[in-house]
Structure 1
């Protein structure tokens, strides 16, 4: 029985998501082709100039914008941000500190705090289960 392995490929949109870049801002040859796993690994190990520039200046996809602002993607939507933003626009928002951003950052801080509390509680429960009292 012959075993021939074909290169695993992905759509450009998937590759862009994995690379953390906005698909529409990538070069045409990237958007119009397919990306192999080896190409993706090469992009991550040694990013070409266009990728370095996109990561540095944007425009950035919503998950990256949300991360850079310290809020959730839902928080972006609640704040009326539906389009990709450049690094410059993100920095301007951080400087302006609009009310919605302050509120969303506070909400995100509470979510993280609650997540840490639950994680600690679960770890304590697991420790008690591993070492029951005799």
Structure 2
């Protein structure tokens, strides 16, 4: 599979991965091996980032669309996310509420 697909499956930001990962195609077995026994660079990326947009959104409790609406276009690391969570700006508080409402509505519709 392409490096971008492998990075997505591993939940890491592709530009932050080592060059050999970015330039080589990986098999499913190789990706599974990275999941089972991650090298130090993968452990560090998963712990400290930078994280891809979907991971940033999940850590902040908002949607990816909310990131775009708020002007967040780059990947964020754990420290940047921590700063936002420690003292949430108004946009983050608003987007979290919107996200909770959307999830509640989706759950309600699923029960019907």
TM above 0.5, yes or no, is yes
Deviations 1:7-63 (A, max 9, x none): xxx010110011110000000110011111110000111111100000000000100
- 1:124 paired residue number: none
TM-score (norm 2): 0.98
In the alignment, structure 2 segments of 5+ residues that lack a partner are: none
Please list every run of at least 4 consecutive aligned residues from structure 1 whose deviation after the TM superposition is greater than 3 angstroms: none
Task: List aligned pairs for 1:47-62, cutoff 5 A.
Answer: 47-62=38-53
Q: Within the alignment, does 1:38 sit opposite 2:23 as a pair?
A: no
Distance 2:12 2:48 in 1: 10
- Give the Cα separation in 2 of the matches to 1:48 and 1:26: 11
| TM-score, with length taken from structure 1 | 0.82
Consecutive unaligned residues of structure 1, counting only runs of 5 or more, are: 1-9, 122-134
Structure 1 match to 2:59: 68
The reply on whether 1:111 has 2:95 as its aligned counterpart is no
**Is the partner of 1:83 in helix, strand or coil?**
coil
The structure with more helix, counted as a fraction of residues:
2
Distance of 2:35 and 2:104 partners within structure 1: 32
User: Offset at 1:65?
Assistant: 0.2
Distance 1:80 1:98 in 2: 13
- In structure 1, what is the Cα distance between the partners aligned to 2:110 and 2:24? 42
